[in-house]
Amino acid sequence: MTLAIKTEKIIQLLKKSYPDAKCALSYQNTFQLLVATMLSARTTDATVNQVTSQLFVKYPDAQELAKAQLSDVEKLIKQVNFYKTKAKNLIEMARILVQKFDAQVPNQIQQLIDLPGVGRKTANVVLGNAFAVSSGIVVDTHVKRLTQRLGLTNQHNPIKIEQELMAIVPPSERVQFAHLLIAHGRAVCKAQRPICQECNLSSLCCRFIKNQCIL
């Protein structure tokens, strides 16, 4: 079985288990998605959603956030990890949007990556969920763990993992692929104690078919 065929089988099985898999961050527009994704680095989505429920009331768009005082933003996002750095990046990001992009979030990956605090993962989240652009695949901790366990990659670097996945995941499935793996990673294929007896991917998993697998 080729990796491309195996990947398609994984996608179809996960779609049956998680038909409504989607981004877990709460947002009302593209700018808010960008902000929430920037905050989500090393922080749970649940914590980010708690923080943004207050942050977006005071700073609903780039124009308002660009005028914010650093100390005010720090207080509002203090629950997230690295909140001081993130607060600084958020304000600078908003200022650049206002100055260069008429306060709109760009839909080009390089323009997104050039923004302070925005890496490739964040850019892929925004492009996929806000613009339906599958220029890449989101590789977070769940996607990295599951693709290794399933034998889809033996890479450790997220960029290299993404490159390998891009070769085997159809363009039409790239956005949903990450959502499906994240949902399965949270519910079943957990980092410390995967619930293998409840996994519908067991016939495709390295742990069961006795191939080399990174755990």
Write out the catalytic residue numbers: 121, 140
Neighbours of 61 (CB within 10 A): 18
DSSP state of 132: -
**Contact residues for 121 (Cβ-Cβ < 8 A; gap 6+):** 138, 139, 140, 158
* CB 151 within 8 Å of CB 213: yes
CA pair distance 184, 47, nearest whole angstrom = 20
Residue spans of alpha helices (H) in 3-153: 3-17, 30-39, 45-58, 62-66, 70-76, 83-100, 109-113, 120-130, 141-149
CA atoms within 13 A on the CB side of 27: 23
* CB 57 within 8 Å of CB 65: no
CA pair distance 188, 93, nearest whole angstrom = 36
